[in-house]
Amino acid sequence: MTRIAAVSASRREASTTRAALRVALAAAGDAGAEIDLIDLGAVDLPLYHPDEDVQGDSEALKRRVREADGVLAGTPVYRGSYSSTFKNFHDFCGSDEYADTAVGLLATAGGGSYGGTLEHLRSTFRNVHAWTVPHEVGIEGASRVVETGESPRIVDDDVRRRTETLGRVVVEHAERLRE
């Protein structure tokens, strides 16, 4: 069975990033994938230190990514790029975790600018030999269209369709890479 892990790089309790990833992850599950949500706001992951092999939950998190056939990577937009939480997590993971892995990118912006964030994500994932899928999702004004809580949902039909498509596309590409 194809495994898809979503990595939410937000520490906010009412995170629109995590909520949108849950929508994409549910679509991946509906497409037949086994799904896993990695919530970086709820793990023990100290700042990356290159002289220390194991820190906090780093080994378990790296294993979950390594065992995934596809990854949905989501981050809030901070200062035109991805969150420091994502950067820290990404420093722990390398080509051993991402080689031959389909990665779908999602960025949630409080305003309207998410292009630079998606570009930064794309280049960092390519640097660790991941295969970023062509379909990406940027959500402007995320707090207006993404509802958080027990049953997260996206109230804008177009944004919801694009987000669900992201989940399905990652499953499709992950299955192709496994062949």
Give the Cα separation of 93 and 100 in Å (integer): 14
Specify whether the CB–CB gap between 155 and 142 falls below 8 A.
Answer: no
Q: Is the pTM of this model over 0.75?
A: yes
Report the DSSP beta bridge partners of residue 155: none
**pLDDT in the model for residue 54:** 86
pLDDT along the chain (179 residues), means of 10: 97 96 98 98 95 92 98 97 97 94 97 93 96 97 93 96 98 94
Give the Cα separation of 116 and 146 in Å (integer): 21
Task: Output the CA angle 171-138-118, nearest 5 degrees.
Answer: 80
**pLDDT in the model for residue 178:** 86
For the chain, how many structural domains are there in total? 1
**pLDDT in the model for residue 3:** 98
Containing structural domain, residue 9: 3-178
Question: What CATH number did the domain enclosing 106 receive?
Answer: 3.40.50.360
